[in-house]
Amino acid sequence: MTKPRSINIFLLDGDPNGIRVAQIMMSTIQAIAFRRNKLGEVRKTFPEIERPGVYILIGEDESEQDRQLAYIGESEGVGARLSYHNSNELGRDAKGFWVDTVVLISKDENLTKSHARYVEACLIRSIGSNPRWSLPNAKRPSEDAGKLPLPDRAAMEEFVDQTKTLVGALGWDLFREMRGRATEVPQAVRDILVAPSVDSPRFQFRGEGFAAEMELGPSGEFMVKSGSKARLRTTTTIPRGTTTLRNTLIDKGVLLQDGNFLLFTSDYSFSSASAAAATVIGASANGRILWKMPDGRTYGDWEAGQGEPLRPPDDPDPQEDAAVVQ
C-alpha cells in the first residue's frame, strides 16, 4: 500500500530538466538525476557519488517505438563506474542507448557493496511488471544476490521502496505496477473497516468483437478491468506503438486469446483513455468519446463535469430557464 510522502527536489541550475537531487523528508537516501553529458559536472559537484550505490541508465529502444530501456547497476564507486560506461562506446558492454541517469546513494557512509547488490537485485526484479520498459542487463540476479542479515534486509527493503518513489517523482515510471493485483484482506481487518470508500467511476466500451470495462485508478490512471475482451484482429489504422504494446501484453500473459477475443487476465493501467481504447479495439481510437458511463456520458463529459454538481437527465438547464423568463 502506498503512503503519503514529502519529497524535496533541488534544482542545481534552476532548470527542471537539469541536474536534480531528490530526497524524501527525514531520509538518508538521495537520488541524483542528470543527463549523460553532465556526468563530469556531477562528479565534481557531488563527491558522494564516488561511494557505493545503485545507478540507472535510461534511454529509448530504437528498435521498438514507445519502448524505453533502463539498465540497473551497482558499484563500490558509482562515479568511476559511470565514467567507465561513458567511455566504453564500442566495448563489449556498451551503453549506446544511455541518455539519462539516476544515481541512488545514502548520505551517510553505511551503505556497502553487499547492500548495493541487494538493492540492485530487488529493482531488477521489480521492473518486470511494466511492459513499457525493457532491461538490457545481460545477467539477471540470482536469488541470493547481496545476501544480508535480517536487520540489513529490512533497511534495504525501505531503501528499495524509497528508490521507486524517488525515481517516479523524477519522471520515470519504470517501477510502476501496471498489472492489478488482488490483495487478500484478513477477515478481522475487514470487520473493522467501517468507513465507506468512494467508488471510482466506471466506463464501458463495447462493439463487434470487444467488450471492455475501465475505471480510474487512485493516481488517475486508466485501468482496464480483468475479464475485459479486446478485439482479436487489428486494422490498418492501429498505431505502431499500440501494436507493440498488444504484442507485449500477449507475451506477458496479460492478454490471452480466448476464442475470437483477447481476454484481459488481470487489471492493466494505461497512460490515457485513448491508449486503452486503441488496445481494446485494435485500431486508432479517441478514448475520450468512446468510453461511456452507464448513463451515456462519455469520459470527456465526465472529466469536464468534475467539481460541478450533477443534475438528473430530465432536469432543465438553469440557463435555459433564465432565457425563457427573459
Q: What is the pLDDT of residue 214?
A: 95
Confidence of residue 66 (pLDDT cuts 50, 70, 90): low
- Looking at the 3D structure of the chain, how many domains does it have? 2
Q: What is the pLDDT of residue 148?
A: 83
Look at residue 248 and tell me if it is in a domain. Answer: yes
Instruction: Looking at the structure, tell me whether residues 165 and 211 fall in a common domain.
Output: no
pLDDT: which is higher, 325 or 8: 8
- Lowest mean pLDDT: which of 110-119, 162-171, 175-184? 175-184
Look at residue 53 and tell me if it is in a domain. Answer: yes
Look at residue 311 and tell me if it is in a domain. Answer: no
The winner for highest mean pLDDT among 30-39, 82-91, 149-158, 188-197 is: 30-39
Q: Identify the domain boundary among 169, 193, 217.
A: 169
Instruction: Looking at the structure, tell me whether residues 12 and 158 fall in a common domain.
Output: yes
Q: Is residue 193 pLDDT above 50, yes or no?
A: no
Look at residue 264 and tell me if it is in a domain. Answer: yes
Q: How many residues would you count in the chain?
A: 326
For the chain, what is the HEC assignment?
CCCCCCEEEEECCCCCCCCEEEEECCCCEEEEEEEHHHHHHHHHHCHHHHCCEEEEEEEECCCCCCCEEEEEEEECCHHHHHHHHHHCCCCCCCCCCCCEEEEEEECCCCCCHHHHHHHHHHHHHHHHHCCCEECCCCCCCCCCCCCCCHHHHHHHHHHHHHHHHHHHHCCCCCCCCCECCCCCCCHHHHHHCCCCCCCCCEEEEEECCEEEEEEECCCCCEEECCCCEEECCCCCCCCHHHHHHHHHHHHCCCEEEECCEEEECCCEEECCHHHHHHHHHCCCCCHHHHCECCCCCEHHHHHHCCCCCCCCCCCCCHHHHHHHHC
Confidence of residue 107 (pLDDT cuts 50, 70, 90): confident
- Mind listing the pLDDT tens digit for each residue in 118-157? 999 989 888 766 777 888 876 666 666 657 888 888 888 9
Check: CB of residue 73 under 8 Å from CB of residue 55.
yes
Look at residue 312 and tell me if it is in a domain. Answer: no
Instruction: Looking at the structure, tell me whether residues 43 and 103 fall in a common domain.
Output: yes
What is the separation, in whole angstroms, between the first and last Cα of the chain?
A: 56
Q: Is residue 68 pLDDT above 90, yes or no?
A: no
Look at residue 78 and tell me if it is in a domain. Answer: yes
Instruction: Looking at the structure, tell me whether residues 122 and 239 fall in a common domain.
Output: no
Look at residue 191 and tell me if it is in a domain. Answer: no
pTM: 0.62
Q: Can you tell me the distance from the alpha carbon of 297 to that of 286, in angstroms, rounded to the nearest whole number?
A: 15
Q: Can you tell me the distance from the alpha carbon of 119 to that of 212, in angstroms, rounded to the nearest whole number?
A: 38
Check: CB of residue 215 under 8 Å from CB of residue 203.
yes
Cell of 165: 518513489
Q: Can you tell me the distance from the alpha carbon of 263 to that of 49, in angstroms, rounded to the nearest whole number?
A: 46
The boundaries of the domain holding residue 299 are 202-304
Instruction: Looking at the structure, tell me whether residues 155 and 249 fall in a common domain.
Output: no
Instruction: Looking at the structure, tell me whether residues 215 and 277 fall in a common domain.
Output: yes
- Lowest mean pLDDT: which of 91-100, 207-216, 242-251, 281-290? 91-100
Look at residue 323 and tell me if it is in a domain. Answer: no
Check: CB of residue 179 under 8 Å from CB of residue 256.
no
Instruction: Looking at the structure, tell me whether residues 211 and 142 fall in a common domain.
Output: no
Instruction: Looking at the structure, tell me whether residues 74 and 118 fall in a common domain.
Output: yes
Confidence of residue 225 (pLDDT cuts 50, 70, 90): very high
Instruction: Looking at the structure, tell me whether residues 59 and 152 fall in a common domain.
Output: yes
pLDDT: which is higher, 198 or 132: 132
Instruction: Looking at the structure, tell me whether residues 210 and 130 fall in a common domain.
Output: no
Instruction: Looking at the structure, tell me whether residues 209 and 148 fall in a common domain.
Output: no
